[in-house]
Structures are given as structure tokens and as C-alpha cells.
Amino acid sequence: MSHPHPELTAPPALPDNGLRVVALGGLGEVGRNMAVLETKGRLLVIDCGVLFPEDHHPGVDLILPDFSYIEDRLDDIEAIVLTHGHEDHIGAVPYLLRLKGDIPLIGSTLTLALVEAKLKEHRIRPYTLAVKEGQRERLGVFDLEFVAVNHSIPDALAVFVRTDAGTLLHTGDFKMDQLPLDGRLTDLRAFARLGEEGVDLFLTDSTNADVPGFTTPELEIAPAIDKVFRHAERRIIVACFSSHVHRVQQVLDAAEKAGRKVAMVGRSMVRNMGIAAELGYLKVPDGILIDIKKIDSLRDDELVLICTGSQGEPMAALSRMANREHRIDVGPGDTVLLASSLIPGNENAVYRIINGLMRLGATVVHKGNAKVHVSGHASAGELLYCYNIVKPRNVLPVHGEWRHMYANAQLAIQSGVPERGVVLAEDGVVVDLVDGVAEVTGVVDVGYVYVDGSSVGGADEALLKDRRILRDEGFITCVVVLDAATGKIASGPEITARGFVEDEEIFQQVIPKVERAIEEAVANGVRDDQQLQQVVRRTVGSWVGGKIRRRPMIIPVVLQA
């Protein structure tokens, strides 16, 4: 099994008979999925998604893949292929198309409809090509064939890529639900046919690779949702992803049985479900939907609200309800149903919301206490089936944290893939397929690109570090005015502290230390403001660290008048 290692350097030139794969996101993380394929000087992008920020990304709205690897080669891109319509696969498309707006987008009807709605908000009119399972398209040096796969959103596709350098099968996100709500199975017959033709490199979804057995069919959660609806006393508030069409369908069906009306809450939920209903992917019972503005005309036991916020996103509807910052006032008798899994890293935020809602008196039903969610990803048993059907020559696990990809790699080896043909890589690691052999050949610089308000890429790790210090440690300002002629202190030091439990008077103790340090520095010929500011910073920092056991942000200001 091939591993990336810190000694990796820039990759060599790609041979004419080579196929290169570089992930700009999605390897070693759950989200930000984006792979770049290259052969004969041409590029193909598969997916272009976002990663949602965690607690250690204060102030960040979204995290994008780093496009710098392809920024100078945008004219070489044949197309962006989108496997399905979840944000972690399409959310960064507007930011890539800002760089070059005429890169063609290829995907299924629903996927393109969802991404086109996003692009409309960015005032981008894309070139699109809608495809469906079984369809083949030639794009320059890339010959693409699309395969139906089952996922937690309709119309998901795997993509088989034929090139002169070899073949590649990318599953996208998938599972093998044998009782799918929409009747659309993962096409294992197509997988087998492609396996017979020969799959040189198999990129497989790793998200559930460490979960034994088989993923539960969507159909099996309907009784649990019905039970929630039967026992709810007042309103039912359902939180799920704004693109989870299957889950919304189950909620609509349960609401119809219970005689309740449904209102969608949140712009993305209203937009996406409107698109799904218009295209026929969501079957909305007649008369069941009502506008959010009309909910006050119904009794509480006649109402269901479907909203976003199942991952604890601070600005989503459910978070604002838990914090009493939303027009919907949650209280005793209300039932909140969290109908999504926990994305790794979001656990604390979700449990904060659960606690907040329960404190308000609501009953909270979630995956931990009821069978109200099933995963959209293949578990270990399903992945083994795929390996045995496809019989790939080489495997590159994708989509998941390191533990997920490692588990996926072990499954590949157990199924008979030669250990040297199983490649574990991280974002930026270059994998070349040459003469049927895949191996790591180098690394390119990729990092996190932060969307911070209207700024894209302006925030960096240094800024986030400052924000974390401000959040966790507080800050101290120290202002000193020196006589420009003599160098003696004319005013100050004045100290202001924020974010400390200690009384502000305690900071008076450091003033004599600052005075002595400045006097010594001036006596030694230091008159530069910046150097004197460093003297103040070190003096205050040393005292605060020893006295209060904190490492706050220290902002020294030295003026000469």
C-alpha cells in the first residue's frame, strides 16, 4: 500500500501515456470534494464542493478548494463533471466559474438545476450539458460514461473515464440501497460490465468504510418518522439538509397521513425543494404546503416545519430557534426531529442546539435516540461487493477522513487488489497512472481558501489564529506616549484589558515594569517605535503569562510627541 510522505516534492512532467489525478479537496476531510484529472495536456474536473467551518475557523462562512494548481490552466479544462447536487460537491462551482465563466458543467438534470440556481445568485450564466445514466460523451481526450448510483439525493451519477492512458471509475457518493424510495438502484450490472472492460484506477467513496455490514435502506426509517408524527402534541420541526429530497419526501408523506400542513423555512430549503418538485423528483401531496407567513392561522397540532440547521450551523434556522433569535418560538410540547447524520467535527455544535431546544421544553428526536436517519454512503459490506464486481487494478480511496480512507484501503486489499496497487493520498498529493500502475509521484501546494463575508481568500491561518486568541484568551492594549526630544515617558502607560475575569486594577501592577523596560531600552539607544512596541509586548506578555496564566493578544501602542 502506497502512502504519501513528507519528503514528497513537485511532480515530474506527466508522460504522454500517463493519467494524473490530483485531489484539491475531499481527501482527509468530509467535504470540499474536488479531483483534477490530466492527460495529454488537458484537464477534467470532477466535483467542486465546499467544506463547512468548524469551531477553530471563527468568522469563516465556507472553505473552498485551493484553485491555484489550475489557475494558470483554466483554458485546458474540458469540463467540470458534477456527480450529484450536495453542497460538498457543487458549492464551490460559482467561485471557480468566477475565474472563467465558460467552463462547461456536466451533470444530471437535478444536479444542474441546483447548481444553476446557485449561479444565478452570483450572476453567472453557465454552459451546461445534462446527462443521464448510460450516456456517453466525448470531451477532447476524455471519453465519459455515466452510471446510475443511489445516494441520499436523487439523480446521483458515477463517471467512467476512458483515456489513451487508461480508464478511471469515480463512484461519487453512493450506497447500494436495494429498496430505494425513487426506485433508482446503483447499477451494479454497469459496474460489472466496466469491470470486464477493465478499470485501471477505481476512486471509491470512503465515508462509511469503517462501518461494518450494509447501510440501512431509507424505507426502514418511515415507521420511526410516522411514530414521531403520531405522538407529537404540538408543532413538529424537522431539520435536514436543504438538498435531502428523499428525507423531505418522507416528511411530506408522514404529514399527509397525520393531516398536518407543511411550511418550508429557510431560503435554500424553499429554493431546492421548489426545484425538486418542479422537476418531478419530489412528489408534493395536493394542498399540503403552506407559506411560512400563514402558519399563525393554524393550530400547533396541524403544523410541520421543515428547516435547515441539522449540523449546528450558527446562522441556520434551527440554531436561531434554539437561541430564541427566530420568529418561530420553540417551547414545551414542540417536537424537533433532527433527520440527518452528524458530519465529523460538527458534534459539539449539534449537541449545543439539542441542549438549547430541550432547555426550551421541546422534545428532540435524533439519530441517537430513534431510527430517524440512515446514511447515504456505502458501508464496508457494500464496498466489498463493488471491489469484487469491478475487479480494479488500482484503487484510490476518496471522500473521507484518514481513518475512513485507510479502512477503505484495507477492504480493497482484502478483496484481492494487490497491496502495491492501493494508493492512500491526501489533498495535493499527485497520483500518476502509467502503464496500468498507479503511484504517488509528488505533491503540489494546496491549502484552505476561506470565504469570510464578501472576502474570498483574504483570510489566512494567521488571521484565524488571531481570532482564536481573541476568542479564547482576550486582549490587552498598552498605550505609551514618549517625549520626542528626551525619550522620557510623557503619558501612560495606559492599559485596557478585555476578556478577563480579573478586576482591571490588577493590571496596574505591570505598569512599573513597562516603565522600567522602556527607560532601559531608550537608555540603550532604542528610539524606533516598532522596537519599543516589541519591548512593551514582551514585558506585558511575560507578566500576564506568569501572573494570570493566560496568553492574550497584546496590542502595544508607542507614540512620540
What are the residue numbers of the active site? 205, 377
Q: Is 61 labelled as part of a ligand binding site?
A: yes
Q: Is 280 labelled as part of a ligand binding site?
A: no
Buried b (16+ CB within 10 A) or exposed e, 358-368: eebebbbbbbe
Q: How far apart are CA 326 and CA 320, in angstroms?
A: 5
Q: Is 326 labelled as part of a ligand binding site?
A: no
Q: Is 244 labelled as part of a ligand binding site?
A: yes
Q: How far is CA 5 from CA 13, 61, 349, 471, 559, in A?
A: 20, 31, 33, 34, 49
The gap between the terminal CA atoms of the chain, to the nearest Å, is 67
Q: How far is CA 278 from CA 113, 238, 273, 282, 406, in A?
A: 10, 22, 8, 8, 41
Q: Is the dihedral of CA 450, 451, 452, 457 positive or negative?
A: positive
Q: Is 89 labelled as part of a ligand binding site?
A: yes
Q: Is 86 labelled as part of a ligand binding site?
A: yes
Is residue 103 a contact partner of residue 78, using CB atoms and an 8 Å limit? no
Q: How far is CA 479 from CA 229, 377, 516, 540, in A?
A: 62, 57, 15, 12
Q: Is 231 labelled as part of a ligand binding site?
A: no
Please report, as a single letter, which amino acid is at residue 540: V
Backbone angles phi, psi at 402, to 5 degrees: -55, -40
- Provide the 8-state DSSP code for 74: G
Helix axes 380-390, 188-197, angle to 10 degrees: 40
Q: How far apart are CA 418 and CA 407, in angstroms?
A: 15
Q: Is 173 labelled as part of a ligand binding site?
A: yes
C-alpha cell recorded at residue 397: 480511496
| CA-based radius of gyration for the chain | 28
Q: Is 376 labelled as part of a ligand binding site?
A: yes
Q: Is 151 labelled as part of a ligand binding site?
A: yes
Q: How far apart are CA 548 and CA 495, in angstroms?
A: 15
Q: Is 88 labelled as part of a ligand binding site?
A: yes
The answer for residues whose C-beta is within 8 angstroms of residue 75's C-beta and 6 or more apart is 100
Q: Is 366 labelled as part of a ligand binding site?
A: no
Question: E strands, 224-296, where?
Answer: 236-239, 261-264
Q: Is 59 labelled as part of a ligand binding site?
A: yes
Q: Is 57 labelled as part of a ligand binding site?
A: no
Angular region, 336: left φ>0, alpha ψ -120 to 50, beta rest: beta
Strands 429-434 and 437-443: antiparallel
Q: How far apart are CA 547 and CA 178, in angstroms?
A: 64
If you search the block for the grid coordinates 462551482, which residue do you land on? 93
Q: Is 399 labelled as part of a ligand binding site?
A: yes
Q: Is 122 labelled as part of a ligand binding site?
A: no
- SS3 (DSSP) at 502: coil
Q: Please report, in range form, the residues annotated as the binding site for Zn(2+).
A: 84, 86, 88-89, 151, 173, 399
Q: Please report, in range form, the residues annotated as the binding site for substrate.
A: 242-244, 373-377
Q: Please report, in range form, the residues annotated as the binding site.
A: 59, 61, 84, 86, 88-89, 151, 173, 242-244, 373-377, 399, 452
Q: Please report, in range form, the residues annotated as the binding site for Ca(2+).
A: 59, 61, 452
